[in-house]
Structure 1
């Protein structure tokens, strides 16, 4: 018993000593970095101030403490800003110091030990994979080559909505949009759709949604040093389930590709490159390439593409439709523009987008208020001095893109959905690809989203088709108004399903058979 009490005394001495040392280090850091912020608690820092929706919590802190806020998430020093000029200082002037991402334990696990692309540290491997992504999968040539794939999937989507609308059925719009984007990405990367795999479409949707949710969840083991090996929130079981399902699917698809490639070689036909997976397998089999890709690199990269290309585009389209329903005058103006370009006998196409400036403005306004990635997170790779503040190595930087879109100093009546703000007569359109630091829905600089071009083709085209062909009746809403509550996650999801009845508005209906 005495020995047991000795252990208890030793533990409390160790704990108090640790708290004292960390308090001293914190004060020293505060002297070097004079950015304002709330008083930190021992061990947890400011974690008690962070809600399940971190972008909203960061927004409140910025309102109270100013354009740069210093906090500690557990033992990790962090800097928060929602000021475009300060963001530019971090992400452009000091870009080399802030080109890494913070890799949470959930992301590390889901990407086979950080073997993917999105969260890889800045270096030769990351440069190689980005070059591959931009030159092969998402190049202008490849996007044009895969236009028939997108058109076919859009037609299938419209047929589904027409069928349900004629039957008066309620549609979970978010779920169907996620199936649409999943099918497009699946065909681009693996030459197959969700329905062709052993897992049904609902299972694929759930996998993508669960991945975004868990990857964006604040995990105590990421920030509190003595919890790093503990699973206090019970995430490990869910993470294992997601990865097991994805790994099973990918192993089957890879083996099918390998068998077909071998059969072609035996017949002397050579290997036909049909999709991104074929390109990755070519690199995997090439011993002379500058970067050797393992099987886990391939699977992690495909998962990155799903995470970055499916949930994001579906969510932006869903938020845009919600805003149009809640602002019927904007919906009507968009319909008039579409009808003036396409008439009422054919479906709107990607080639129509240059003649649909109001539709493009609707998408930009949606990205301003509902950025798919509400926070840009970076990790400092070296000590630097930014705006007079000394930022230590391995500290976190959070750029609150969501907060920028609601800043009355940047936008007139920022909570009002007004696409007209993006239509400037005789002026160049406001860029959304990261060059303008008050609007960065796709990030900026070296880490800018490589799928921006695809998103800016897919989203306005499918949104235009949805409002061209259907009236949207709200199921269970109050006075036809859809609520705007957000859901925690790595991406900005809606808290509740968007349940609508699509009522065909054109007679005869545009030919989609």
Structure 2
């Protein structure tokens, strides 16, 4: 799940365009300067000075750094709360745990809405008809309630245990096959991503599919994520005239997505109407809960096919890359900290012996739980939760928070705050295992880490996400010893922003089957 935009790379790529249309902007400047701006009467948090109209876009673009690194620099200069002007959008960035707790927990309903989306995202969310995109109100409450109560309860998740077991076996087999082809070397994120995607596709559609179909669906979803990468006209709509080809491509990708996914929707619909007619169908799916949901206020009809496609895509994309990213960072840390890998393997071996790790066993492995928690503290899947917005003007930290700003939460800054953690730069599961440090991952009792967000908009997939990460790590460590490729290579823990924060250099690892 991504925030307002993922990196400064796309901004930098369009940097020259800003200068070519500078004359165009000057004429617009005359108009804007004649308007009464709200910011003159507001006490917004401090922030770096910017240019008229474009604000801080130049600084972000010229830095050449991922946006989260730029924000980290601004945090060091401006502190717990600061303002960035990004073209027509104003961002108020929160980097302090107490301010975040006050906003999202103590004043939860007030900060529970969503800021304005760019037109591209609105197209793919069917005009905000998804759990993540919907503004705070009846539609959001209905969609979220349906997802949580009908799909993500512990009872419902248990119904898909065999699906997860099959996917884990497939993961281990793919790793073995790929290692045999490449002298023991595997690309971690690729196989991890496919394994979790297989689970979510079955949960979503209630249909068993061969690898060819799975890979095709995966590619369609990747095309959507690529299309959602930000452009300069997302922040300066006045430049949209220069991006007609890109807008056309957005519509093409959306059509491809709808055209490809709708037949699966119809296949599932027929399977429900005629039980036993489709041998690939299982007993229940997320899609089943959506056919008759009445999420629109006063709406009597069921969701349209386009709305169903958006809800399905959200379910698949929200849980795939976040989990795969966590696995890549986790294996990297186990390679870099072999003593942690050894201790984890010993716990697994003592707990289950020769049998395969089952998710029932995870509850009996406190060190595994500590490893996963430390992984999520050190490497949250995204460095920002999805943008928040207030439902009415308010104040925070002595500053005004108007309704038309993006409230951005810098989660990585909280997880590495030395005021909250001892030696935060070190990957140290012992802090949760034997050193007495702890954190409420939901943020209710206090904020020290928030990889899934907190408050009203906390990720509904928190439980299933932690199950997937725990189970995959346990099976991967049980089956293989993990080392660097080439042997002795120092792991580069630099990150880059895609849909999630991934390793700048995709992790290639050598695996050796356990004896």
TM-score by length of 1: 0.86
- Note if 1:231 corresponds to 2:246: no
Deviation at 1:122, TM superposition (A): 1.2
Partner SS, residue 385 of structure 1: strand
Q: Is the 8 A contact 1:76 1:395 kept in 2?
A: yes
Deviation at 1:349, TM superposition (A): 1.4
Deviation at 1:195, TM superposition (A): 2.9
* In 1, Cα distance between equivalents of 2:198 and 2:74: 40
Q: 2:231 aligns with which of 219, 243, 247?
A: 219
* In 1, Cα distance between equivalents of 2:300 and 2:105: 29
- Note if 1:28 corresponds to 2:40: yes
1:320 matched residue in structure 2: 330
- Note if 1:335 corresponds to 2:345: yes
Deviation at 1:219, TM superposition (A): 2.6
Partner SS, residue 110 of structure 2: helix
1:498 matched residue in structure 2: 507
Q: 1:117 aligns with which of 131, 144, 148?
A: 131
**Structure 1 unmatched ranges of 5 or more:** 1-7, 507-513
After TM superposition, the structure 1 = structure 2 runs for residues 82-481 of structure 1, keeping only pairs within 5 Å, are 82-102=95-115, 103-166=117-180, 168-192=183-207, 195=210, 198=213, 201=215, 203-215=216-228, 217-228=229-240, 230-231=242-243, 235-236=246-247, 239-240=250-251, 242-264=253-275, 274-283=284-293, 292-343=302-353, 345-376=354-385, 377-424=387-434, 429-435=438-444, 436-475=446-485, 477=486, 479-481=488-490
Instruction: Please say which of residues 379-388 and 275-284 is displaced more in the overlay.
Output: 275-284
* In 2, Cα distance between equivalents of 1:288 and 1:90: 31
Cα distance, 1:266–1:141 mapped onto 2, change above 3 Å: closer
1:5 matched residue in structure 2: none
* In 1, Cα distance between equivalents of 2:265 and 2:68: 38
* In 1, Cα distance between equivalents of 2:72 and 2:111: 21
* In 1, Cα distance between equivalents of 2:192 and 2:168: 10
Deviation at 1:218, TM superposition (A): 3.5
Q: Is the 8 A contact 1:178 1:205 kept in 2?
A: no
Cα distance, 1:288–1:244 mapped onto 2, change above 3 Å: closer
Q: Is the 8 A contact 2:224 2:254 kept in 1?
A: no
Partner SS, residue 101 of structure 1: coil
Deviation at 1:26, TM superposition (A): 6.8
Cα distance, 1:260–1:354 mapped onto 2, change above 3 Å: closer
* In 2, Cα distance between equivalents of 1:238 and 1:498: 31
2:83 matched residue in structure 1: 70
1:4 matched residue in structure 2: none
Deviation at 1:290, TM superposition (A): 6.9
Instruction: Please say which of residues 103-112 and 170-179 is displaced more in the overlay.
Output: 103-112
Deviation at 1:144, TM superposition (A): 0.8
* In 1, Cα distance between equivalents of 2:341 and 2:58: 41
Deviation at 1:433, TM superposition (A): 2.5
Deviation at 1:440, TM superposition (A): 0.6
Cα distance, 1:173–1:428 mapped onto 2, change above 3 Å: closer
Q: Is the 8 A contact 2:206 2:283 kept in 1?
A: no
Q: Is the 8 A contact 2:415 2:450 kept in 1?
A: no
| CA-to-aligned-CA distance 1:234-266 (integer Å, 9 cap, x gap) | 644554454344323311101212333343499
Partner SS, residue 210 of structure 2: helix
Which of structures 1 and 2 has the bigger CA Rg?
Answer: 1
Partner SS, residue 139 of structure 2: helix
**Structure 2 unmatched ranges of 5 or more:** 1-20
Q: 2:92 aligns with which of 79, 99, 103?
A: 79
RMSD: 3.1
Q: Is the 8 A contact 2:193 2:321 kept in 1?
A: yes
* In 1, Cα distance between equivalents of 2:355 and 2:426: 32
1:40 matched residue in structure 2: 50
Cα distance, 1:292–1:453 mapped onto 2, change above 3 Å: same
Q: Is the 8 A contact 2:439 2:448 kept in 1?
A: no
Cα distance, 1:369–1:194 mapped onto 2, change above 3 Å: farther
Cα distance, 1:310–1:193 mapped onto 2, change above 3 Å: farther
Instruction: Please say which of residues 486-495 and 323-332 is displaced more in the overlay.
Output: 486-495
Cα distance, 1:25–1:463 mapped onto 2, change above 3 Å: same
